[in-house]
Amino acid sequence: MSEYSVLIGGRAGEGINTAGLSIARLFSRLGYRTCMYFDYPSLIRGGHNFAIVRASDMRIGAHRTPVDVLLAFDQNSIEHHRQRIRDTTTVVYDASTVVRGQGYGLPLDAILKEENAPPITGNSAMLGALAQVAGIDRDLLEAVLRESVPAKHLEANLRVAGRGYDAVENVFTVEPLDAPTFPVLTGNEAAGLGLVHGGLESYVAYPMTPSSNLLHFLAEHAEDFSIKVLHPENEISVILMALGLAYAGEKAAVGTSGGGFCLMTEGLSFAGMAELPVTIVMGQRPGPSTGMPTYTAQSDLHFVLNAGQGEFPRLVAAPGDLEEAYTWSSTALMLSWKYQVPSIILTDKTLAEGASSFDIETVVPHPDQEPVLWDGAGEYRRYAPREGGVSPLAFPGREGAVVRVNSYAHDEAGFTTEAAADVKLLQEKRLAKGESLKAELATYPTVKAYGPRNSGATIVCWGSEKWACIEAAEKFGARVVQPLVLAPFPVRHWKEAMIGAGKIICVENNATGELARLLRQQGFDPGRSVLKYDGRPFAVDELEARLLEVLA
């Protein structure tokens, strides 16, 4: 396998994320598959930000610890990452700020002054230096900058990039591959595109890391997608506005993280009782409470599975990469409307804000689904019993229909009631929808498996740890099994995938083994847990070392 890893580090405000994406696009132009992990504290300025970009001739989705090139804007970017530096690592640093550098020093202050360029263009100098170090053609460097830099700042960035290119030497050569150039997207962008494909008409959100960029992405392209993007004053308003839109017949989705989802839970129960469809993109981060707002975790699984008072069905899907984020966001929205239940797309910071190559040709779309609509015959009853539990929908303004929606216990017409027979009938109707949804999901790929069956060992994982597990498993010849749907849990598919599992290891980004707990609740053995809960995802080599302890 031919691969390269590049780390760029500096302070918040220096455009590290943007520079990382440009590095990923540079390798993508050469035919490489890329992935980027972005690490930053919850600061507007200062602190230490860094992005690790990995490029390979094979499909990848996780980073490794060592790097081939380290681009350092400050001393901290060297000191903080000494464990990543090997004898073969090339270090390029800002000689204006780094006093103990080794490698190539760029006099960034002098370059920016001489070119009359703003400080933010310093990352273009670093990008130019990387291109020269890696033997990447200057024309390709300029093409990437022309694609990503706004026109009014382009010339300054090109000049500064050229200065960086000329200030260092060629160390190695990244050979172009005879492979297509894939776009580099974040998980939030892939989820947004999936929602649009699923029929999204309105997106409602209050900014909350790591889902904020989904709001920004959809707002930026709202006209292109022919959608409305709304930003209310808080998360309670968000969920209630989305339910109001659903009542009016408009397909709506919302985005949030754990703290915002806390505020939405009463609205979630409202959706369950009133049978209003809504799709929630829930990006996990470490808690409790504020926790670490800009870091990652898989610690909200049981919160999402059990949120809201009372008993009502819901769909919970946890994609592990861009293609799954696209597919399951689309499917969740469509199934939410078909079955009139809330659906939740459970992501995390690693997936939501990380970036990877996106190959739309590998996406196998699920069937398009449409809601069941009232045919106009007879008196309209919003909660009329029907086989499978799903009542036909009508919306305000429909001739002949009075659409009553109620958060209280109600009868078929939507009137509040406490009559035992009515309450029992409507509760059974809601649960029947859950069974119908479960039956349909049995025809979907709700569990995925990678590697040989009967290998002697099976690694179980969910969400964004998928690709670290797939790569680490290859070293041991192990199998990987990943549930994509967590509610209703795909019992039959899981049983089939785990035939011949052998020794089971459950890898998670939390402290208590939340997937392992769910598997036990479903009657399955989750094996031994390998956990990481410091706010960072597993690097591939780090996970390999942890698995060796278990499998040796």
Instruction: Report the distance separating Cα 47 and Cα 293, nearest Å.
Output: 14
pLDDT in tens, 176-214: 999 999 999 999 999 999 999 999 999 999 999 999 999
- Residue 1 predicted with pLDDT over 70: no
Which stretches of 407-470 are assigned E, i.e. beta strand? Answer: 447-450, 457-460
Calculate the average pLDDT of the chain. Answer: 96
pLDDT of residue 552: 78
Domains of the chain (ranges; CATH) run 3-166 (3.40.920.10), 185-362 (3.40.50.970), 447-551 (3.40.50.920)
pLDDT of residue 357: 97
Strand, coil or helix: 323: helix
How many angstroms separate the Cα of 422 from the Cα of each of 67, 275, 416, 419? 65, 16, 10, 5
> How far does Cα 267 stand from its chain's mean position?
23
Query: How many CB atoms within 10 Å of residue 104?
Result: 19
How many angstroms separate the Cα of 138 from the Cα of each of 106, 159, 176? 18, 12, 14
pLDDT in tens, 494-518: 999 999 999 999 999 999 999 999 9
CA atoms within 13 A on the CB side of 280: 35
pLDDT in tens, 403-425: 999 999 999 999 999 999 999 99
The model's pTM is 0.96
